[in-house]
């Protein structure tokens, strides 16, 4: 089987699934291209309030890029085209304005780790295994990906993980700040579903504005867009949802937000 990216919709939740279980959900060149399209589709779908990244089955989240394709797809000049597709995919994930969660079972290696780092929240099972083994393959790793890793775990830790290329377990990932929480394997999916429900009940415009502010704060000062962030915040106060939130609070009832 060649592997595929598929979308599963469950009310306000959409799962973006890396479906290549015979290769531990390794991502092929076609899957990188499909990932970009899927991310754009989910961002445009107003009915989706939360996106969950996950692998098919419980053996692996994503075990990395499909190395069996490297000779044909990632060598010589073709490597630059392959890397460009990766960049487009990561940018598309980062551009999703609604909350994105990663639900991590088992292997989260290389490109899988890079994909998980695009999520806002990362939850893993206690059997999760992480690594960034680029140095064992001799490939050039994108500076943007290293910057993302550094921002999340800190410079000394990012250097150590990358330079050694070693594997580390779920508890170390938690200590590094790479994941938000470690769950027993049997309880991960239920916990993620509970968190999704909590997020989906909240005001979509407020969450979008917060994501825009967090993203802007992580950029170099010269690249920041304060006007865009302020416009997103202003839209919250001008929205029907803000009026609904105030009315619901005063009436001591649960608000029903429409995202407008």
Which CATH number goes with the domain that contains 26?
3.90.226.10
The answer to whether residue 8 sits within a structural domain is yes
The answer to whether residue 78 sits within a structural domain is yes
Long-range contacts of 153-159 (CB under 8 A, 24+ apart): 153/177, 153/178
Q: How far apart are CA 238 and CA 243, in angstroms?
A: 8
136 and 12 assigned to the same domain: yes
Please list the rounded mean pLDDT of every run of 10 residues in the chain (260 residues): 91 97 93 95 96 98 84 64 86 96 98 97 98 91 92 96 97 98 98 98 96 90 90 95 95 94
- pLDDT at 243 (0 to 100): 95
- pLDDT at 38 (0 to 100): 97
- Say if pTM beats, i.e. exceeds, 0.85: yes
189 and 215 assigned to the same domain: no
> Could you give phi then psi for residue 60, rounded to 5 degrees?
-150, 145
175 and 232 assigned to the same domain: no
For the chain, the distance separating the N- and C-terminal CA atoms, rounded to the nearest angstrom, is: 42
191 and 213 assigned to the same domain: no
162 and 42 assigned to the same domain: yes
The answer to whether residue 258 sits within a structural domain is no
The answer to whether residue 259 sits within a structural domain is no
The answer to whether residue 215 sits within a structural domain is yes
- pLDDT at 83 (0 to 100): 80
227 and 125 assigned to the same domain: no
The answer to whether residue 223 sits within a structural domain is yes
Contacts of 32 (CB under 8 A, 6+ apart): 65, 82, 85, 86, 88, 89
106 and 233 assigned to the same domain: no
Overall domain count for the chain: 2
The answer to whether residue 43 sits within a structural domain is yes
Parent domain of 87: 4-199
154 and 209 assigned to the same domain: no
Q: What is the pLDDT of residues 123-176, one digit of tens each?
A: 999 999 999 999 998 888 889 999 999 999 999 999 999 999 999 999 999 999
The answer to whether residue 256 sits within a structural domain is no
- Give the helix ranges, DSSP H, for 177-222: 188-200, 204-217
164 and 216 assigned to the same domain: no
Query: If you search the block for the tokens 């393959």, which residue do you land on?
Result: 137
188 and 72 assigned to the same domain: yes
27 and 73 assigned to the same domain: yes
Longest distance between any two alpha carbons in the chain, whole Å: 65
CB 4 within 8 A of CB 27: no
222 and 106 assigned to the same domain: no
């Amino acid at each position: 089987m060649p592997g595929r990216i598929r979308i599963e919709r469950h009310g306000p939740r959409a799962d973006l699934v890396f479906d290549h279980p015979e290769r531990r959900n390794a991502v092929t060149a076609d899957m990188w291209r499909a990932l970009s399209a899927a991310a754009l589709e989910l961002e445009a779908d107003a009915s989706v309030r939360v996106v969950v990244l996950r692998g098919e089955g419980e053996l692996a989240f994503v075990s990395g890029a499909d190395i069996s394709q490297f000779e044909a797809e990632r060598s010589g000049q073709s490597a630059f085209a392959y890397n460009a597709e990766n960049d487009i995919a990561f940018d598309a994930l980062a551009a999703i304005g609604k909350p994105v969660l990663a639900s991590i079972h088992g292997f989260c290696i290389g490109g899988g780790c890079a994909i998980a780092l695009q999520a806002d929240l990362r939850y893993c099972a206690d059997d999760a295994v992480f690594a960034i083994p680029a140095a064992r393959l001799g490939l050039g790793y994108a500076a943007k990906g290293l910057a993302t890793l550094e921002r999340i775990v800190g410079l000394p830790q990012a250097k150590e993980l990358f330079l050694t290329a070693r594997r580390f377990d779920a508890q170390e990932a938690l200590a590094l700040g790479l994941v938000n929480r470690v769950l027993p394997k049997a309880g991960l999916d239920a916990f993620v579903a509970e968190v999704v429900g909590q997020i989906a009940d909240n005001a979509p415009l407020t969450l979008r504005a917060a994501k825009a502010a967090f993203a802007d704060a992580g950029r170099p000062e010269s690249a920041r867009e304060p006007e865009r962030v302020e416009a997103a915040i202003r839209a919250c106060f001008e929205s029907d949802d803000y009026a609904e939130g105030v009315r619901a609070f005063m009436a001591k009832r649960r608000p029903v937000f429409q995202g407008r």
